[in-house]
Chains A and B, each alone.
Chain A
Amino acid sequence: MPFIDEILKYRSVSIVGLEKNTGKTESLNYIINRLPTDYFSVAVTSIGLDGESLDQVTSTAKPEITIKEGMFFGTSEKHYRERKILSELYDVSDMTTALGRVVTAKALQEGKVLLSGPSSGSALKRWMSSLNNYGIDLILVDGALSRLSTASPAISEAMVLSTGAAFSANIKDLVAGTSFIVDLINLPFFTGKETETEISSFSDLCTDAIRNHSVIGVEGALTNRLLQAVKNELIKGEKELVVNDFTRIFVSPDLYRSFIRRGGRISVRMKSKLIAVCVNPVAPNGIVLDSDLLCSTLSAAIGLPVYDIVKDREKYDF
């Protein structure tokens, strides 16, 4: 079974997609199905709305989340009332979402649920710490569409990334786009003691702060404007930018690559472990990519195993 053993090493794992319909929910179901839930206590939720049977945007069929007996799950009041399984309510929190308060329950039988958990990163963190009372070994978080914020190391220790034809129908672009994100996820830790100065994207970027320092901390987001300003100063000496984690980086791949080529460095204060990349070669508009070619090209580019979960399902089932 690929990467399941790896997942069991972490307390919290988020599953994030680079685009809608990249097979995120498939990946989650795949993982849940293979977790040893008989002796391993698992909780699952999603940030925002997920698990609807029809995709709200493209109206394509979406797999529901299948919960196994004994698993805990967090969802909204509305979806709790619509659940199709027998479950025991453990908590009704005061966190609210557009679909009511977030409730926590334990499945008393296997079945399908709609997951719509806490809607913000901080609420998600609070929900996760509220589970401390129930002896949970692993928390799985289904990230909402193209929101990488759930993968922030501040929230989850490790992540599974899903990408696919819905992100780009051209294998070359898909590989380039995905490997850019993987590069950001794998940015090295900041090893220095402290930064020489701190700047933010809102600061006046013509200041001496950039010119006179080589190790620069970035408060908040790293934007194109900020990166360009630092890049312009690379001629005069080495520069290392220190960001909190990869989810704070909002720069274009081209600018990032040219900054690195010129000798610039970016490091992070917090890092989450990328466990695996899953691909879905089918796009909602009907385009189907060659799964084997996609997996091998992407794997070669990022140096990590890549799985087509739908295609490989039979192969790994036992």
Chain B
Amino acid sequence: MTFKEIIDSPCGIRYCFDLLELQSGYARKYLLDSRMMTTAEEIEEAYASLDKFTSLVEREPSLIQNLQFRLQGLRNIYNTLTSLEEGSALDDIELFEIKHLALLGDEVKQLFSRAEISNVWTNFDLDNIIRILDPDGLKIGTFYVYDSYSMEVRKLRRELESDPDNEELKDRLINEEERIKRVLCNLLRPYATELTNLLHSLAELDIVISKAIQRKKESFTIPEVGNSSSFEGLFHPEVKSILAQKGKVFQKVAFRYKLGEPGIIIGANMGGKTVALKSLCLCQYLFQFGFAVPALKAEMVPVENIVFCFGDDQDQQKGLSSFAAEMLRIDRMIEMVESGAKTLALVDEPARTTNPTEGSALVSSLLRILTDCSNLSLILTTHYNVDSSARCWRVKGLVEDIEGSDRLKMDYSLTESADNEVPHEALNIARKLGVSSRWLDEATKILDTQ
């Protein structure tokens, strides 16, 4: 799965992507095309690099600024490098691109060595490449077929200056310039792989710097790669920023789960169940794409599939109602789990669009059939009373604002609870929202007679 495929996931990962201060369009494309990591080793390696760069962001801000400034000049010349490797003749523009890339790589290398930081850049040997395209050793990022490439080209150019309309001279000059370019390509060809590696490394550098800056600015954390997942101070950055604009504070929560143990989150309406689910999904994606995650402290497990069933899945193009679309999506998830792939499934209020009797039966049975799957972490939110032994988390819900007062406020914290009886706070919350009291009084009456 690539980043591009999940960027519009309702968990809100696009917001985190947009926060990245990427300097080049190529790094953006490189990240979007990157594949989700699924092994602990890959993720640990990515985090080691992110950690190193986070400390650089803190210790060497001017180095980082310099690097970022240089990286603005990174261009996608992948096609040019492929042409070079395949043996095509390159023209002025393509040779310029290669020189530009090599000089950019060299500048980055110099910046690291001046700061006495050894890393992958130490291994790049760019001097030979630069020498081919910079015969006068000027180290200026411009290019043309220099006079110093051949006596012949220099002679022809001089002759043309005194006889500018001589077509024969012009043809000879063009031929000589073409010959020189072919020679340059032959000289550069052995370095094609090195140049491609350089291009990728520069994109990766741009990405890791922007991830490190994001980690610092947004107070994200690098999770430990472990055997179960647990979060302290988990938050959803987009919701947090929306609340901050309104002068409100996001209440961070704690949560944990592990493979083979399904969990349910119950609680009042507007209690933050969906936001909690979104945050968990967001963290898992960020984790597996090597980003820091929005929490104070976290431990996480890599999985092969992440399934997020959220909200109204109605698909009019396929002629599916929201119920049908949801059922099919959950069914696909069950198949995935049965195939043995390690899966994290986050399901927001399954079967809520049908009648409560069948709805709660569907939810209870789903939990029951998936209880023994050691390759699945299933977390679902629900308003139904379900008959299940799954670990149950409860949103604290409405509490007294100040002790002893009548005013109520929402406490979003999640606590583990032995009893999975769903709360009955819908009417209170509706009343808090200022909904017509005539309607709500009538509802209270009906509930009283029951």
Contacts and interface: CB of A to CB of B under 8 A. Distances in A.
Interface of A: 77, 80-81, 86-90, 92, 94, 103, 106, 108-109
B93 A94 contact: no
B175 to A, nearest CB: 15
Contacts of A92: 75, 93, 96-97, 100
B88 to A, nearest CB: 14
B340 interface: no
Contacts of B143: 88-89
B75 A88 contact: no
Contact of A87 (B25, B97, B100, B144): B144
Given A80-B92, A92-B96, 9 more contacts: A80-B93, A81-B91, A88-B143, A89-B93, A89-B96, A90-B142, A92-B75, A92-B100, A108-B144
A77 B93 CA distance: 8
Interface residues of B, number: 14
B161 interface: yes
Contacts of A86: 144, 157
B359 to A, nearest CB: 47
B144 A94 contact: no
A80 B161 CA distance: 21
Contacts of B100: 92
Contacts of A108: 144
Contact of A88 (B97, B142, B157): B142
B276 to A, nearest CB: 41
Contact of B161 (A88, A90, A106, A109): A109
B202 to A, nearest CB: 15
24 contacts: A80-B93, A81-B91, A81-B92, A81-B93, A86-B144, A86-B157, A87-B144, A88-B143, A88-B144, A89-B92, A89-B93, A89-B142, A89-B143, A89-B144, A90-B141, A90-B142, A92-B75, A92-B93, A92-B97, A92-B100, A103-B93, A106-B142, A108-B144, A109-B161
Contacts of A103: 93
Interface of B: 25, 75, 91-93, 96-97, 100, 141-144, 157, 161
Contacts of B75: 92, 94
Contacts of A94: 25, 75
A9 B161 CA distance: 33
Contacts of B93: 77, 80-81, 89, 92, 103
A108 to B, nearest CB: 7
A71 B144 CA distance: 15
A88 B138 CA distance: 14
Contacts of A87: 144
10 nearest A-B pairs in the assembled complex, by CB-CB distance: A89-B96, A88-B144, A88-B142, A89-B143, A90-B142, A94-B25, A77-B93, A89-B142, A92-B93, A89-B92
Nearest to A103: B93
Q: What is the interface of chain A mostly: helix, strand, loop, or mixed? A: strand
A86 B170 CA distance: 11
Contacts of B141: 90
Nearest to B161: A109
A87 B157 CA distance: 12
B26 to A, nearest CB: 9
A87 B141 CA distance: 14
Nearest to B146: A88
Contacts of A80: 92-93
A88 B96 CA distance: 9
A90 B103 CA distance: 13
A256 to B, nearest CB: 43
B100 to A, nearest CB: 7
A16 B208 CA distance: 46
B289 to A, nearest CB: 24
Contacts of B144: 86-89, 108
A90 B100 CA distance: 10
**Residue of A77, A86, A89 ringed by the most chain B CB atoms within 10 A:** A89
A88 B100 CA distance: 13
Instruction: With a 10 A CB-CB cut-off, give which of B25, B92, B141, B143 has the most chain A CB atoms.
Output: B92
A108 B92 CA distance: 15
Nearest to A80: B93
A175 B337 CA distance: 79
A220 to B, nearest CB: 27
A18 to B, nearest CB: 35
Contacts of A77: 93
A187 B18 CA distance: 42
A89 B100 CA distance: 11
A88 B141 CA distance: 10
A94 B143 CA distance: 18
B160 to A, nearest CB: 8
A80 B157 CA distance: 19
A37 B264 CA distance: 76
A8 B100 CA distance: 33
B16 to A, nearest CB: 24
Contacts of B161: 109
B92 to A, nearest CB: 6
Q: Which one of A80, A86, A92, A109 has the highest number of Cβ atoms from chain B below 10 Å of its Cβ?
A: A92
A179 B365 CA distance: 82
Question: Residue among A88, A90, A106 with the most chain B CB within 10 A?
Answer: A88
A94 to B, nearest CB: 6
A10 to B, nearest CB: 27
Nearest to A104: B142
A92 B97 CA distance: 7
A265 to B, nearest CB: 41
Nearest to A84: B170
Nearest to A106: B142
Contacts of B25: 94
A121 B157 CA distance: 38
Nearest to A77: B93
Nearest to B80: A92
A106 B144 CA distance: 10
Contacts of A106: 142
Nearest to A110: B164
Contacts of B96: 89, 92
A7 to B, nearest CB: 27
